[in-house]
Amino acid sequence: MHLNELKALHVSEVLKQAEALEIENTGRMRKQELMFAIIKKRAKAGEQVFADGVLEILPDGFGFLRSPDTSFTASTDDIYISPSQVRRFNLHTGDMVEGEVRTPKDGERY
């Protein structure tokens, strides 16, 4: 699954997918929360989830994938890229990056 496919869906379609996966309390969730719950459920089931975006590296060395949907400005949908990944792949601000994503582990902020 690619995150962009999920983002492109109308909220009613995202809601249907969440209900099909038996995610609880879907009626109270916003689209972003529904998408996160779907990704989390699918990832736990072993399904790979991919995303892409344009990298912005912040002064602390980590970065976020920004989306043209938000005019490349910061948003809650941005995907975190760790400093070790930035160094390992010699990434720079403006690079187009695509890869497998995962949900944050316990204690991780992003």
90-100 pLDDT, tens per residue?
A: 999 999 999 99
Query: What's the whole-number average pLDDT of the chain?
Result: 92
Instruction: Supply the pLDDT for residue 106.
Output: 83
Query: Do residues 54 and 34 touch, judged by C-beta distance below 8 A?
Result: no
Cα distances from 31 to residues 2, 18, 25, in angstroms, run 16, 10, 13
Q: What is the pTM of this model?
A: 0.79
